[in-house]
Structure 1
Amino acid sequence: MILKITIIGLLAGVIGTGFGGIISVIFKRNVDKYLDFFMGLSGGIMLAVVTFDLMSESMDQMGVLYTVIFTFVGVLLTMYIKTRLDVSKDMKSGYLIFISILLHNLPEGLAIGSSFMSAESLGMTLAIIIGLHNIPEGLAMALGLVGSKMKISKIILFTVIAGIPMGIGSFLGAYFGGIFSSLIGVFLATAAGTMMYVVLEEIFPKSRSLYCIIGFLVGTVIVNCI
């Protein structure tokens, strides 16, 4: 049963973010021409996930105060990672998006694993929803990396790797049950902080235009629809 749950969680993560990476291939040739729009799209997707999903769920788990505290911890953690990240300036935002999605896929996996132990139908429903929800996140990450001129094959590989922690989280959630379910709020808030920092510090300052705003609104709508 635990192996089955782990595989389902892994597939939900890998297929979701990986499919988002594949979609980015469609935009690759036009990414320079419409870069402001795509940066706004990435930022809109990520901030919508932070506000409507991660922080909201974390508040339900452990209240507003602790959510704010651990969100700020996530911001500080990302700032520290940025100072230690030894890559070119153009590629930093893409790598930071990759790291933030890695971090927030773990608690989503924990949620899947814990739900399966409660009721199999609930776990399966959650795995499907999170898998779909990961598509725009994979797209946001891929677009950030496309803008840094990374090879498309490597971008798709990165989006697939970003989904792996969901399998790990599903295993831990199923194996340890209540122990890790009590920490899901902490993981979600920390992940929210990492994503918030990336958007406000790395994405939006580089794209100040009407097209960025349009992209932001489109990204927000995409997350709400999925």
Structure 2
Amino acid sequence: MILKVTLIGLLAGVLGTGAGGILSAIFRKEVDRYLNFCMGLSGGIMLAVVVFDLMKEAMDTSGVLYTVLFTFMGVLLTMLIKSKLDFAGEMKSGYLIFISILLHNLPEGLAIGSSFISEEALGITLAIVIGLHNIPEGLATALSLAGARVPVKKIILFTFIAGLPMGLGSFLGVYFAGLFKSLIGLFLSLAAGTMLFVVLDEIMPKSKSLYSIIGFLTGTIIVYYI
């Protein structure tokens, strides 16, 4: 049971974010040509995930006060990480997004593992939904790294790596279901704060154009319907 749930969670994470990375590689020339639109798209995807998914679910499980508190802690944590990262300006933005997706996928894995304990069908459904939901997140990571001129092979590798914590989260969720179910809201809030800081501090200030706004709105729509 534990091995099965871990593999399901791992596949949901790796295949989802990896698919986003592959999509960005296919359209690499267009990414370079329409960089403002693509940066706006990645910002819209990430901010929509924060609002529609992470904070909403965290409020449902942990309440508004704790969600706001730990989201703010996630922002502070990301500021600390940024101060320690030794990359050039554009590279720093891409790698910060990669780290935020890593942090985000752990609590999603916990949710998958915990749900299998209550009902297997629910766990499988959640794994499929989160796997689809991870495609635009992998795309957001890949677009940002592409904007920093990271090689295509390295981008695809990073997007697959970004999905690995979901396998770990699924293992922990099914093994310690009762314990981690009560902490999922905390992890989701920390991930929300991380992604919020990246969008507001790194992505949007660098893509000030009408095309970035169109991309931002497109990203929001994608996440809403997925």
TM (normalized to structure 2)? 0.99
Q: Could you tell me which amino acid in structure 2 is paired with residue 46 of structure 1?
A: M
Q: What CA deviation, in whole Å up to 9, does each residue of 1:145-204 have, x standing for no partner? A: 000111100000000000000000000000011101110000000000000000000000
Q: What CA deviation, in whole Å up to 9, does each residue of 1:36-76 have, x standing for no partner? A: 10000000000000000000000001110110000000000
| Equivalent residue number for residue 51 of structure 1 | 51
| Equivalent residue number for residue 163 of structure 1 | 163
Q: Name the SS for the 2:59 alignment partner.
A: helix
Runs of 5+ in structure 1 lacking a partner? Answer: none
Residue 90 of structure 1: how far off its partner (Å): 1.3
Residue 33 of structure 1: how far off its partner (Å): 2.0
Q: Name the SS for the 2:15 alignment partner.
A: helix
CA distance in 2, matches of 1:26, 1:140: 14
Residue 87 of structure 1: how far off its partner (Å): 1.1
**1:1-226 residue pairs with structure 2 within 5 A?**
1-226=1-226
Runs of 5+ in structure 2 lacking a partner? Answer: none
CA distance in 2, matches of 1:148, 1:164: 23
Identity rate, percent: 73
Q: Name the SS for the 1:87 alignment partner.
A: coil
Q: Could you tell me whether the CA contact under 8 Å between 2:37 and 2:212 is conserved in 1?
A: yes
CA distance in 1, matches of 2:218, 2:27: 15
Residue 88 of structure 1: how far off its partner (Å): 1.2
Residue 84 of structure 1: how far off its partner (Å): 0.2
CA distance in 1, matches of 2:136, 2:31: 16
Q: Could you tell me which amino acid in structure 1 is paired with residue 59 of structure 2?
A: M
CA distance in 1, matches of 2:73, 2:4: 34
Q: Could you tell me which amino acid in structure 2 is paired with residue 146 of structure 1?
A: A
Residue 28 of structure 1: how far off its partner (Å): 1.0
CA distance in 2, matches of 1:160, 1:26: 16
Q: What CA deviation, in whole Å up to 9, does each residue of 1:19-47 have, x standing for no partner? A: 00000012211223211100000000000
